[in-house]
Amino acid sequence: MSEDQPSILFRLDPRSGVAPYRQLVDQVRQAVETGRLRGGDQLPSVREVVTQVTINPNTVHRAYRELEHLALAEGRLGLGTFITENPEVHATEAGNTELSRQLQLWAQRARTAGLDEDDMLELLRRILSRDERVLS
């Protein structure tokens, strides 16, 4: 792979309704699935992506972090982000996304508001018990 050519050319569709970071993640996943990207290939740097596509650099960071969570890529300090050897591409995120994503965000907000884990669990317990009373 030549130094000058980026390993993947990202495209962004601002009207698709899909969040930009997810579009990047999906494009990398697809490239790995089809074999265009292989284990050990370097993903373009944040700066390079920003010249390819009109996108917020933070979004690129986020996409790369997500790829790391999905074990598709790994960051090597000082060198960049690389596709992991033997990347496993999971099937599209299961239906639990809706709930778990919302919960994740709610937990983030609660933490910022100063609730600790016990507070959050207590709140959840109270809500659940209220629901049960309504239903029963």
Partner 1 sequence: MTTPVVETIGLAKRFGRKWGLRDCTLSIPSGKVAALVGPNGAGKSTLLRMAAGLSRPTSGVIRVLGDVPSGNDAPLLKRVGYLDQERPLYRGFRVEEMFRFGEGTNPTWNMTTAHTYIDQLGISLRDRVNSLSGGQQAQVALTMCLAKQPELLILDEPAAELDPVAREDLLRLLMREVAERGTSVVLSTHALGDVGSICDYLVILSHSKVVLHDDLEFVVESHRLLSASSSSTPALPDGVTVIDTRIGSRDVTHLVRLTLPLVEEAWGITEPTLDEIIMAYLRLGTDSASSQAHVSAPSPRGGIS
Residues of the shown chain interacting with partner 1 in the complex, contacts defined by CB under 8 A: 12, 14-15, 17, 19-20, 46-47, 50-51, 53-59, 62, 98-99, 101-103, 105-106, 109, 113, 127
79: DSSP letter: T
Nearer residue to partner 1 within complex by CB, 35 or 114: 114
Name the token pair of 73: 């890529």
Comparison of 94 and 99: residue with beta carbon closer to partner 1 = 99
- Of 6 and 62, CB closest to partner 1: 62
Shortest spacing between CB 122 and partner 1, in angstroms: 15
